[in-house]
C-alpha cells in the first residue's frame, strides 16, 4: 500500500496505537496507575500531539474468547471517543475480571470516566513535539 494506509472499519487508526516494546516498558516503569471497576489504566505523557492506546487482558480474565472480547470492548469504546481523549498521553488499558461480561455502553462509561479523571489530574500546558531518534525503528 502507499504512504497512507487505510484502516479497516472498527479498527483504531495506526497513529493512535501503542505498539513498540520500548513504549510498553516505559509505560510500566514511568506510568501512573488509575484503578477503575472494569480496568486498570496506566498512563503517561508521551510528548506527542495525539494520544496512543494499548489494550491487554491477562489469563485471570478467562479463556481466549473472553480475553479477546474484553480487549475488543475497550478498543471500540476508545475508538468512539478519540475526539474526546486528552492529547499527549499513552494509555495502557488492562481489563479486569468482570470486563468480558459488560455491555458496550458500560465500556463507553468507563472510557468517559478515564478521560475525565486524566484531564482533571493533568490539567497542565499542552504537550510539545518530542523526537524519539535512536529509540527503536518503526
pLDDT at 131 (0 to 100): 38
d(CA 138, CA 132): 11
d(CA 34, CA 47): 20
What is the per-residue pLDDT across 94-131, written as a single tens digit (0 to 9) for each?
Answer: 999 999 899 999 999 999 999 999 888 776 544 443 33
Query: Does the global pTM surpass 0.85?
Result: no
Residue 5 has pLDDT above 70, yes or no: no
What is the per-residue pLDDT across 54-74, written as a single tens digit (0 to 9) for each?
Answer: 999 999 999 999 999 999 999
pLDDT at 2 (0 to 100): 47
- Helix, strand, coil percentages (3-state) for the chain, rounded to 5, are 40, 15, 40
Q: How does DSSP classify residue 59? A: G
Domains of the chain: 14-121 (3.30.230.10)
Amino acid at each position: 500500500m502507499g504512504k497512507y494506509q487505510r484502516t479497516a472499519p472498527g479498527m483504531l487508526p495506526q497513529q493512535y496505537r501503542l505498539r513498540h516494546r520500548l513504549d510498553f516498558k516505559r509505560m510500566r516503569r514511568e506510568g501512573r496507575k488509575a484503578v477503575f471497576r472494569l480496568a486498570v489504566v496506566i498512563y503517561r505523557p508521551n510528548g506527542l500531539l495525539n494520544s496512543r492506546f494499548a489494550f491487554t487482558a491477562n489469563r485471570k480474565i478467562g479463556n481466549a474468547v473472553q480475553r479477546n472480547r474484553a480487549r475488543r470492548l475497550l478498543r471500540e469504546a476508545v475508538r468512539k471517543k478519540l475526539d474526546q481523549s486528552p492529547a499527549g498521553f499513552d494509555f495502557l488499558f488492562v481489563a479486569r475480571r468482570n470486563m468480558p461480561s459488560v455491555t458496550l455502553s458500560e465500556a463507553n462509561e468507563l472510557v468517559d470516566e478515564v478521560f475525565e479523571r486524566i484531564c482533571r489530574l493533568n490539567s497542565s500546558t499542552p504537550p510539545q513535539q518530542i523526537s524519539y531518534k535512536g529509540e527503536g525503528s518503526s
